[in-house]
Structure 1
Amino acid sequence: MALIPGDAEISPRNWGAEQARLYAESGGTEGTTFEGAPCLLLDYVGRRSGTVRRTVLIYGRDGDDYLIVGSKGGSPTHPHWYLNIEAEPDVRVQVGTQRFPARAETLSPEEKARVWPQLVALYAPYEEYDQRIERDIPVVRLRRTDT
């Protein structure tokens, strides 16, 4: 199921619901960082509801691709957005004022090991989360599909 253009419901369970609202309402000119780290908006389809949801996430880069981390603040469970994009990897992304379709893919352990240091440098709490919990924190590549 491909995402259709339009608005999305801001995920109420996300730590950044107000930030996501500000980001979207400003057209990507406000709410674009968290504690100095760059943020993007991710629109995805709910695996059970079919509702298009939106969340704000810190991102890193790997070439032309965007990287997001399923840390859920160090929670022992995966974030809902991650479970949803596993079921439906076609997403919509907004970085600043640019909106585009993308495909989400969880990185292999080898790829994650390669990019993890740069993600921790971007947002240091990722390292503490990783040491505190037993689950493997997924790193997801978002690759533009409109190019």
Structure 2
Amino acid sequence: MSFDTHNGTTGARQPGAGPLMRWLNRFAEKRIRRSGMFFGGMNALVLTTVGRKTGAERHTPVGWFPGEDDTWLIVASAAGAPKNPAWYYNIAANPDRVRIELAGHTHDVTAEQLHGAQREHAWQQIVTAAPRFAEYQRKTDRQLPIIRLTPRQ
């Protein structure tokens, strides 16, 4: 279970973290918790991670795709930015302290980064369902990490 994707050197501008983005994220979180959908009809969940430096819980709205055996797949795309999103590093530091919320349900999950053939299979599924992720990949020289979230027993 290695989280080993390094930041790239080129890519799109990383989405901002200013007051407008924080408001938009809170709005999206409420909508996702209620319906499980994000803007434009995309499946979305609220990802709760534990900060690797602070130990504080962090909530992030993230699009998801169905994985095998009732799992969820998420992509650490940061819209094609050269750097991985902060939540990627939080998951890497605490893969067994991740929780998701969608459509009124909360699930404790374990996170695992996909590699090799598993990643390639998931990537094809993701770009078929949401071609914008292929565009995000074209913008950056880092390989976009795909994370599988598996319900914890």
Q: Does 1:21 align with 2:23?
A: no
Report the equivalent of 1:51: 56
Structure that is richer in helix per residue: 2
Report the equivalent of 2:5: none
The Cα offsets for residues 66-95 of structure 1, whole Å up to 9 and x where unpaired, read as: 000000010001000001100111201012
- Size of the aligned set, in residue pairs, is 135
Unaligned runs of 5+ in 1: 1-11
Structure that is richer in strand per residue: 1
C-alpha change, 1:134 and 1:24, in structure 2 (3 Å) is closer
- Would you say the 8 A contact 2:98–2:109 is kept in 1? yes
- Would you say the 8 A contact 2:29–2:61 is kept in 1? no
* Distance across 2 between alignment mates of 1:16 and 1:122: 25
Q: Percent identity?
A: 30
| Offset at residue 25 of structure 1 (A) | 4.1
Q: Does 1:40 align with 2:45?
A: yes
The Cα offsets for residues 10-59 of structure 1, whole Å up to 9 and x where unpaired, read as: xx839964454235446822572233211000000000011100000000
SS in 2 for 1:76: coil
Report the equivalent of 1:6: none
Unaligned runs of 5+ in 2: 1-15
Which structure carries more relative contact order (alpha carbon 8 Å, separation 6+)? 2
The Cα offsets for residues 117-142 of structure 1, whole Å up to 9 and x where unpaired, read as: 22112322110111221101000000
SS in 1 for 2:43: strand
The alignment's C-alpha RMSD in Å is: 2.3
Q: TM-score, normalised by structure 2?
A: 0.78
